[in-house]
Structure 1
Amino acid sequence: MNNTVDKTVTVEQLKAIETISDVPDDQLQWFLDASTIQEAKAGERVFEAGETMDRTFVILEGRFRICMMQGGKIREVADFGPGTITGYLPFSRGKKTIGYGECTEDMVALVCHMQNMREGIQKHYELTEALVHIMTTRVREFTAIQQQNEKMMALGKLSAGLAHELNNPAAAIVRNTSSLKEQLKQLPELFKEIAAIKMDMREIKPVKQYITEVVQRPEKPSLSMMQRADLEDELMDWLEDHEITDYSMAETLADMGFSIEDLEKLRGMIAVDCIAPILAWINNNLITGKLVDDIQEAARRISELVGSVKTFTHMDRDADKQPIDIHAGIQNTLKMLDYKLKKGNITLKEDFAADLPKIKVMPGEMNQVWTNLIDNAVDAMEISGSGTLRISTRRDGDFVQVLIVDDGPGIPEEIKPRIFDPFFTTKEMGKGTGMGLDVVSRIIRQHNGTIKVKSKPGETEFEVCLPLNN
């Protein structure tokens, strides 16, 4: 943006900009005198990424945007229109541009270089105050947007994993209820067959007791796939010898721990013509019981996941600090990220100190810390297709120490000093906003704690220390 144009801008035009409308006229006139009027065409670069931030822009006409390259793709991070003041502002910590500026509409702007602005800072209090307010508002709004993006990305990751985890037990319930209906349909016919058997109670009682004994054996033999297949073949041969052709019965009996010896003992307890209907009745009851158990387990799993979500979000608690078991938060976070651990073929190793006292923290915010650190560790190991995540806790004087260690490729030395900076990220577009570790650092400072990182190829360690007496 180098084209200087001859155009008159008045103090009244500047006063029409709300953010500097209360600045005295003489100070606005100084700003006009210290600036030049420049224009740029649509598509033209106003500045490049990484340039020194040395100019203040007041956009009079047109628009421009700031874009960053992330994961090989362009990501727009800000858009400025008429009346916007941006670029170098007093006391800003920003030294370099985070991306490149590109005109989206033909633009005319008032441009004041940093050297002149520094003179104005010394001489013109109200103008400086107004520009500082613009800067703090810009940082606050930009940070809020990026934090919201970070939360939405984290929510997307958690919801994807949660949906997968909920889908499995939900599908099991649907599948098993359908099978249960089929079993119940067989009951009328089985009842007729059982009713036709002439057995008195003295014969029925030992049969019932023996079946219960077999089903409830505490230790069922552990069989390989080959051994199980052989057992099913043997059971099927026995059933065929007794004119029973229900091939699924062999599988059910094998599941419940029946052997040929068990069937022979059972046959010796009842008449030959009773064995088929009794085994059919037994088979139906065993399948029905197993389906009910599977449905109960699936429902328990769904209830457990919902409970984990509730605990994770602390939806039933105040936002104030609460005395909590630090392990509960970490373990709930691991439950929420369990799908991602499985998908990444990650082995989890936990070493939690048993004697840690409760510490006073904001539970929801601490869950953000564990989510970001664990999620980043899993992402780092994703490259190699597997890995080991180690999480340990211990008491260190008046602090609780939490170590989260992964065996990924490590953090390059040249970027290690920047990983806690706002908006810095090495992830592809759509996977991160660069606010995750900044949020982590802010939350830990808010709890009067510290976070440190050590990294080398094959081992990256994040150490979080939180005070016991917070």
Structure 2
Amino acid sequence: MNHQEIVERIASFSVLEGVPISQIEWIVERGELVEIPAGEQIFKRGDSIDRLLIMLDGLFSLKVQQAGQFKELAQIKTGDVSGALPYSRAQSATGHAFAVTDSKVFTLSVDHFYDLICECHEVTAVLVHLMTDRVRDFSRFQHQSEKLMALGKLSAGLAHELNNPAAAIVRSAESLEKHLGTVPDKLKKVISMEIVDDQIDFVNNLVFGKLRQGINKTESMIARADREDELTDWLEDNGYGDCYMLAETLADYRFDVADLDGLKEKMGEKEFPSMLTWVDNVLTTEKMVGEIKDASKRISTLVNSVKEYSHMDRSGDYEPTDIHIGLRTTLSILNHKVKKNQVTVEENWQTDMPKMAASPGELNQVWTNIIDNALDAMEEAGGTLTITTKTVGDNVRVNISDTGKGIPKDIQDRIFEPFFTTKDIGKGTGLGLETVQQIVENHNGTIKLQSQPGNTTFEICLPLKH
């Protein structure tokens, strides 16, 4: 294409409608025509944005890399203007561009932008409008991506947390079904026993007294194992060869050798085996039902945590808010990541913390973004997450600290900038901390950062009254 053909081609594009032909000629005189074959990469992520691009013919595909695969973000087609624009602060490409078809693109170096702004007012106005449209579209896309990523993290965590109790319910239900299949045989032994009311009352008081006490979940593993060994030895000495499961069940419900001695003495040699079978049946059934109940309660707790976290049944208005509830539900939602990254959580919470006027759902976004970043910082080596709350005058102060690798000093001033992120493509959009800052400022609060390797602390200070 010769000079005049390029001018006429550019002037025909609707995006430059109304621009004087002399200004288009000004651009063509200083620019360059580039032909790019299909399949060739035009630029990659991190390359400098140093040229205005006007697509004369062809098609470019803009892509970002996520999880090792390229995902198309947008297309540049015939008649589109892209690349560097006047007054734009974009310095480097955030993705990759490939030629889909054989393409012809006209380029203008940013070195000519100062003269362009001074001499070509109409062109400059058009390009500035294009820039604002691009920023708006990109911001919308990034915000949507941030929401989808946050939703994905919460969904993955919730699915992981729900899987364990759901599997426990299935496992216990199957065991209970198998166990109940042996009840008819055991019933025969119970019916054939020759016992009096006094013996029945003794067994009921013993067994159901143990059931009321329940399983001692605070007992040390060593103490429990010692008692289980003693019960196993006693059962073996009294003619019960395969007794390990029985000893485990008895140990769960705090039986000891003295209880078995008393039961045997009360029932007598003849009836003791059948009665012990009945005791084992009652305790095992109760244990399995308890496991199902605990697992079901865990699922209910997780569902309530999600509901509390999202505040789906409340308005977004400010209301009296217990920040500890939000922190606890956030930790519950992110518990899978705490365990996966081998992180210890320390809670230094003021016990008499008053409620503050706030939007609970928005504050949960603050806790989630900061805690999630802290857990990411400890992904490789584990560490400790410390959350401290206290009132200082008329304010609530929340410190969230981690022992991760820290934030380099040269970028600490930029962490709240929109779209600034140190994470790989697909792991962060750079909007999390910007959202945090906006929410904190909307609550008339402040957020500060102190960071060095092994000790990073975000301090959030919020007024009790809005």
TM-score range for the pair, normalised by the shorter chain length: 0.7 to 0.9
Q: Cα deviation per residue 1:120-154 (whole Å; 9 max; x = unaligned)?
A: 65677665554333222211221222222233333
Q: Distance in 2 between matches of 1:132 and 1:265?
A: 92
Say which of 420, 436, 454 aligns to 1:458: 454
Matches within 5 A, 1:108-119: 108-114=104-110, 117-118=113-114
Equivalent in the alignment of 1:33: 26
1:71–1:193: structure 2 CA closer, same or farther, 3 Å change rule? closer
Q: Distance in 2 between matches of 1:403 and 1:438?
A: 18
Say which of 268, 271, 284 aligns to 1:271: 268
Q: Distance in 2 between matches of 1:156 and 1:394?
A: 32
1:443–1:60: structure 2 CA closer, same or farther, 3 Å change rule? farther
Q: Distance in 1 between matches of 2:284 and 2:139?
A: 58
Say which of 361, 364, 368 aligns to 1:367: 364
Q: Cα deviation per residue 1:293-334 (whole Å; 9 max; x = unaligned)?
A: 111111000000011111222222234444422222221111
Work out whether 1:159 is the aligned partner of 2:158: no
Q: Distance in 2 between matches of 1:129 and 1:360?
A: 46
Of stretches 406-415 and 213-222 in structure 1, the one that deviates more from structure 2 is 213-222
3-state SS in 2 of match to 1:414: helix
3-state SS in 1 of match to 2:462: strand
1:461–1:33: structure 2 CA closer, same or farther, 3 Å change rule? same
Equivalent in the alignment of 1:378: 375
Q: Which amino acid aligns with 1:92?
A: S
Work out whether 1:337 is the aligned partner of 2:365: no
Work out whether 1:260 is the aligned partner of 2:253: no
Equivalent in the alignment of 1:208: 204
1:103–1:293: structure 2 CA closer, same or farther, 3 Å change rule? closer
Work out whether 1:88 is the aligned partner of 2:87: no
**Could you list the runs of 5+ residues in structure 2 that have no partner in the other structure?**
none
Q: Calculate percent identity across the aligned residue pairs.
A: 40
Work out whether 1:389 is the aligned partner of 2:388: no
Equivalent in the alignment of 2:407: 411
Equivalent in the alignment of 1:251: 248
Q: Which amino acid aligns with 2:35?
A: A
Following superposition, the deviation at residue 118 of structure 1 comes to 4.7
Equivalent in the alignment of 1:232: 231
Query: TM-score scaled by structure 1?
Result: 0.85
1:244–1:421: structure 2 CA closer, same or farther, 3 Å change rule? same
Equivalent in the alignment of 1:431: 427
1:303–1:68: structure 2 CA closer, same or farther, 3 Å change rule? closer
The answer to whether the 8 Å contact 1:5/1:37 transfers is no
3-state SS in 2 of match to 1:40: strand
How many residues are treated as equivalent by the alignment? 458
Q: Distance in 2 between matches of 1:244 and 1:46?
A: 75
Equivalent in the alignment of 1:311: 308
Q: Distance in 1 between matches of 2:270 and 2:309?
A: 60
Q: Distance in 1 between matches of 2:83 and 2:215?
A: 74
Equivalent in the alignment of 2:437: 441
Q: Distance in 2 between matches of 1:32 and 1:401?
A: 61
Q: Distance in 1 between matches of 2:412 and 2:72?
A: 25
Q: Cα deviation per residue 1:2-41 (whole Å; 9 max; x = unaligned)?
A: xx96352456854642x444xx343x64244334352231
Q: Cα deviation per residue 1:363-393 (whole Å; 9 max; x = unaligned)?
A: 3333222222111111111222x20111122
Following superposition, the deviation at residue 457 of structure 1 comes to 1.4
3-state SS in 1 of match to 2:409: coil
**Could you list the runs of 5+ residues in structure 1 that have no partner in the other structure?**
none
Of stretches 390-399 and 117-126 in structure 1, the one that deviates more from structure 2 is 117-126
1:399–1:138: structure 2 CA closer, same or farther, 3 Å change rule? farther
The answer to whether the 8 Å contact 2:446/2:461 transfers is yes
Following superposition, the deviation at residue 69 of structure 1 comes to 8.4
Q: Distance in 2 between matches of 1:452 and 1:379?
A: 19
Q: Cα deviation per residue 1:190-222 (whole Å; 9 max; x = unaligned)?
A: 222222222232432233223334454589675
Q: Distance in 2 between matches of 1:92 and 1:469?
A: 41
Equivalent in the alignment of 2:325: 328
1:407–1:265: structure 2 CA closer, same or farther, 3 Å change rule? same
Q: Distance in 2 between matches of 1:101 and 1:33?
A: 30
Q: Distance in 1 between matches of 2:103 and 2:182?
A: 80
Q: Cα deviation per residue 1:45-95 (whole Å; 9 max; x = unaligned)?
A: 4698453x554332222234566789999887654222222233344333x
Q: Distance in 2 between matches of 1:174 and 1:47?
A: 50
Matches within 5 A, 1:14-93: 14=11, 16-17=13-14, 19-21=15-17, 24-26=18-20, 29-35=22-28, 36-42=31-37, 43=40, 45=42, 49=46, 51=48, 53=49, 55-64=51-60, 79-93=75-89
Following superposition, the deviation at residue 439 of structure 1 comes to 3.0
The answer to whether the 8 Å contact 2:64/2:72 transfers is yes
Query: TM-score scaled by structure 2?
Result: 0.86
Q: Which amino acid aligns with 1:347?
A: T
Q: Cα deviation per residue 1:154-209 (whole Å; 9 max; x = unaligned)?
A: 33322222222111111111111111122222222222222222223243223322
Following superposition, the deviation at residue 357 of structure 1 comes to 3.7
3-state SS in 1 of match to 2:149: helix
Work out whether 1:97 is the aligned partner of 2:92: yes
The answer to whether the 8 Å contact 1:11/1:25 transfers is no
Q: Distance in 2 between matches of 1:58 and 1:218?
A: 76
The answer to whether the 8 Å contact 2:61/2:75 transfers is yes
The answer to whether the 8 Å contact 2:228/2:251 transfers is no
1:103–1:261: structure 2 CA closer, same or farther, 3 Å change rule? closer
